[in-house]
Amino acid sequence: MEQQPPISDYGFLSDSRSGALVGRDGSIDWWCPSRFDGSAVFGRLIDPRAGHFRVAPVGVGGPGYRVERAYRPDTLVLRTVHHTPHGSVAVTDALAAEIGARAHQLGMNSPAVLIRVVEGLSGRVRMALDFVPRPENGLLTPYLHEQPDGGVLASGGPVTLMLRASGLRLRAGRDRVAHEFEVSAGQVVGMDVAFGEAYGDPPARLDPLVTLAATTRAWEGYRETHSYSGRYAKLVRHSATVLTGLTYARSGAVVAALTSSLPERIGGDRNYDYRYSWLRDFSLTMRALWVAACPDEASRLFAWAARSIGRFGDEPIPVLFGVEGERDLSEHHCDHLRGYHDSRPVRVGNDAWRQRQLDVPGEVIGAVWRLRDYLGETFDDELREMVLGLTEQVAATWHLPDRGIWETRDEDRHYLSSKVSCWTTMDRAVGLADRLGERADKRRWAVVRDEIRETVLREGWNDRIGAFTGAFGSAELDASVLALPVAHFLPASDPRMRSTIAMVERELGTDDGLLRRWTTDPAGFLLCSFWLVECLAMAGELRRAEELFERVAGYSNDVGLFSEQIDLTTGAQLGNTPQALSHIGLINAAWRLTEPDSY
């Protein structure tokens, strides 16, 4: 059975509607062209039989073969150079932007076309094209029809895909298109795969070279509207570009990752679908967008959240939504898929939407507080209703147990990070009261805020181990307590916090700078490692914070992408990729190193 490449082998393409992953071997192994959480037409990432589209020299991986690749600056246009004994060839990959798109138009009307341009650099290289579409997450083998212009139409179920290659007449096999051709120095071959719905408009017809140039200009124009003046600017700008690529342009929602079911541990079952937008990540995301992007992205994300939440009832606010605000994200297993390196189940949907997670309102209102001056002295109706509704819900429910930031699937507990987030809700709401109209009850909210704080300090501290722990009454350490200084619940210089930081670093840390979430966690969690950077900087230990930042940043792959976690033994990337929270963690940690006392 064919083995799947390491997670770090993949580069990320995006049209801000969906995304694709391309491996170092030239294979597109993941593409859900309808939108981020749609069905994959290429799914080799989670099953070798689930489809791919490879364009690479014949004999990839043989003697004398090597690869180097890089994004064009400030874009998600990826150029891979294959060096062979017979010469060198470049393959440039992108998901097409709308022709003429600029700045904040990026992705609004993307045509759902995958562009691949092959360019001979030296010698004469024999190339192999292998087009194996498997729509509906590998459930469907489409019919292949040769076209008069030399292309091939793949059609089956709800999907049509049109494959074209300039100057090549492609032949359709029974279930794939396999074609070899030679490229000499200076020769260029443009290819595209255009997606269409079976009963909708036909796939777009674009010139690959013209479209590649237009897509590159669109990305460059987008980044030109943003600025960042802090430390580690190159890393921050790239991570901001990745976040833009994970943004669903039509709504402004940021998905947690491009993929579903890449495992936290090879062979394990903690394989979740991350192609949705988490409210919990809201404040962190907003801070990163504010630092490295511009207010327009932040305001669109607020509008999406308010619309998604809607008017309040008694039910908890879901922690996550679909990219257009869908609530019901019921989870099911794709039993026909093998999973990444046999890590089952493969999931579509995420049942965390059903959980009570008390930290959600604090993340949203914390983001409102951060951008309060930009949002104005008087909030619009939807924003005001959202803030009032979330605040009152926390006032009524903060004392309840929940599933916590790590979305445990066992029992509810009184998680410390959830209570601190409830305190954040009430504290920021008190500060925003003058902008919320006559229904704002500032005095009562302040009483609730102070009660939560007293409870956290009393119940969350464990005298025996000398640290704040993950849940009330527990002796188990949890890296989520590092959020206390970040949320300005306690300063990092507070003796209790210093003791906690030292204990977490000693018991959950590794010599390589990685931090686990808890003692039995099998991998280092990149966001937590960047939280530790922030805590050290806020405690005045800037030199140590810088050294840690640079070690953790070094866990990106060769094109600057992070997954969710790092294997503690091999250093391999684990979990869904590219992971928004990891890139958000980098941006926020870099800014903390620039402005240690920033709020």
442-455 pLDDT, tens digit each: 999 999 999 999 99
Q: State the pLDDT confidence band at 62, using cuts at 50, 70 and 90.
A: confident
Tokens representing residue 319 in the block:
């922690």
**φ/ψ (deg, to 5) at 332:** -140, 160
Pairing type for strands 78-84 and 87-95 reads antiparallel
**φ/ψ (deg, to 5) at 451:** -65, -40
- Reduced to 3 states (helix: H, G, I; strand: E, B; else coil), residue 262 is coil
| Alpha carbons 56 and 171: distance in angstroms, whole number | 18
What's 183's DSSP letter?
E
524-537 pLDDT, tens digit each: 999 999 999 999 99
Within a 10 A sphere around the Cβ of 458, how many other Cβ atoms? 9
Tokens representing residue 8 in the block:
């770090």
Residue 67 pLDDT more than 70? yes
Residue 103 pLDDT more than 70? no
361-372 pLDDT, tens digit each: 998 999 899 888
Residue pointed to by tokens 């327009």:
296
410-464 pLDDT, tens digit each: 899 999 999 999 999 999 999 999 999 999 999 999 999 999 999 999 999 999 9
Out of 3.50.50.60, 1.20.1250.20, 2.70.98.10, 3.10.129.10, which CATH number does the structure's domain 7-223 have?
Answer: 2.70.98.10
**Residue ranges in 539-579 assigned as alpha helix (H):** 542-553
Residue 104 pLDDT more than 60? no
27-37 pLDDT, tens digit each: 999 999 999 99
565-574 pLDDT, tens digit each: 999 999 999 9
The pLDDT value given to residue 1: 52
Within a 10 A sphere around the Cβ of 251, how many other Cβ atoms? 20
- Are 56 and 25 contacting, i.e. CB atoms less than 8 angstroms apart? yes
Rounded alpha-carbon distances, angstroms, from residue 528 to 251, 295, 328, 503: 28, 26, 29, 14
Pairing type for strands 78-84 and 461-462 reads unpaired
231-254 pLDDT, tens digit each: 999 999 999 999 999 999 999 899
Quick one: 382 exposed, middle or buried, by C-beta within 10 A (0-12, 13-18, 19+)?
middle
Compute the radius of gyration of the chain from its Cα atoms.
24
Residue 99 pLDDT more than 90? no
The pLDDT value given to residue 248: 94
Rounded alpha-carbon distances, angstroms, from residue 360 to 403, 422, 442, 589: 11, 8, 21, 22
Rounded alpha-carbon distances, angstroms, from residue 469 to 11, 323, 365, 408, 503: 38, 34, 25, 16, 10
H helix and E strand count, the chain: 14, 24
| Alpha carbons 326 and 36: distance in angstroms, whole number | 13
350: Cβ contacts below 8 Å, ≥ 6 apart: 272, 273, 274, 276, 320, 329, 331
10-50 pLDDT, tens digit each: 999 999 999 999 999 999 999 999 999 999 999 999 999 99
CATH code assigned to 233-594: 1.50.10.10
| Alpha carbons 43 and 159: distance in angstroms, whole number | 15
- Domain residue limits, the chain: 7-223, 233-594
The pLDDT value given to residue 306: 85
The pLDDT value given to residue 105: 58
176-219 pLDDT, tens digit each: 999 999 999 999 999 999 999 999 888 999 999 999 999 999 99
How much is the average pLDDT of 62-70? 93
- Reduced to 3 states (helix: H, G, I; strand: E, B; else coil), residue 147 is coil
The pLDDT value given to residue 295: 60
- Reduced to 3 states (helix: H, G, I; strand: E, B; else coil), residue 324 is coil
The larger pLDDT score, comparing residue 100 to residue 257, is at 257
Rounded alpha-carbon distances, angstroms, from residue 293 to 106, 226, 241, 567: 14, 5, 9, 31
Rounded alpha-carbon distances, angstroms, from residue 234 to 230, 256, 545: 10, 22, 18
The pLDDT value given to residue 494: 97
The pLDDT value given to residue 293: 66
